[in-house]
Amino acid sequence: MNAKNYIKLEFPSKSSNEAFARTAAAAFAAQLDPTLEEIGDIKTAVSEAVTNCIVHAYPETVGKVRMRLRILDGDVLEIAVQDWGRGIADIRKAREPLFTTGGEERSGMGFTIMESFMDKLRVRSTPGKGTTVTMLRSILSREKTR
């Protein structure tokens, strides 16, 4: 798919940057004229992906997070969140609801939440080298529905 527009952001894996990532994603997606519900879904999915980097990829250090957003043909928003942290040994297990490596205070629902708010979720990871989560969401043009 061809990208009509894109942005790339890179920031430290600090919890204070999670809100920035959510807001940046929402602002970029706004060019597709999404509904408030769609904006909320996008912000929630980005929040979960970035939080996973902060909590799981770099549990005892601050690392680098890169977020790339693209507008693809057909008004599809693609969001990729990448880290260079611990990686995931068993992606299938990590995607199971309630599975977590983040301790008792973590719900283990991050991937499940991302999947429920996006049309497609892909997780690629190499232990010791990092993880990339790619999410796709079609934004239905409100002009076409009127």
For residue 124, give both structure tokens.
């690629």
* Alpha helices by DSSP H, the chain: 16-29, 36-52, 91-94, 110-117, 142-145
Whether 106 is catalytic is: yes
Distance CA 111, CA 122 (A): 10
Whether 5 sits among the annotated catalytic residues: the reply is no
CB atoms within 10 A of CB 37: 9
DSSP code per residue over 76-88:
EEEEEEEE-SS--
* 95 part of the active site: no
Which position among 52, 70, 86, 137 bears the catalytic label?
A: 52
* Active-site entry in 18, 38, 48, 78: 48
> Residues 66, 68, 106, 124: which is the catalytic one?
106
Name the β-bridge partners of 71. 5, 77
The catalytic residue positions are 48, 52, 106
